[in-house]
Amino acid sequence: MLRRNLTTVLTADYEPVGFNAVATPYREHVRQLIPDAVQDRIRKVCGDRNVTRPGSQYLVVLPPTCPLKLDPAEAAKIATVLRAHPELVPELNWHLAAVANYLTNLDGLEAAFRALDQSIRKQS
């Protein structure tokens, strides 16, 4: 069982859970339109966090909520710019599908790691 679980983890295709799996045109185009200063504030207040977990290295997560408060006039201006690009709507649909697929693939990979962890614990 240990050998099989180790083989599964070592030979898994990690591309479906890599950055490129969610590096969609929507993500790129929205970031081209939102001012860099606003993106910097979003990353600072609401961006990725490295969280340590017992028995592992760390996990990169987003905070459950984003307390960032944008100036209403600034937010309205950005919303106007985004709405001026109707091509973002189908790109958002594709992005949401890509994220859903990423999460499904991640669940499968996590299950493989959990099975390997259990096999190792049984051998110890």
Query: Two tokens at 73?
Result: 């006039």
3-state secondary structure of 48: coil
Q: Of all helices (H) and strands (E), which one includes residue 50?
A: strand 49-52
Instruction: Tell me the domain boundaries of the chain.
Output: 2-35+70-123
**Mean pLDDT value across the chain:** 93
How many alpha carbons fall within 13 Å on the CB side of residue 67? 2
Residues with Cβ within 8 Å of 21's Cβ and at least 6 positions away in sequence, in order, are 15, 98, 101, 102, 105
* Higher-pLDDT residue of 56, 79: 79
- Percent with pLDDT over 70 in the chain: 98
35-39, 83-87, 116-120: least confidently modelled range? 116-120
Query: Two tokens at 45?
Result: 């207040």
49 CB neighbour count, 10 Å cutoff: 11
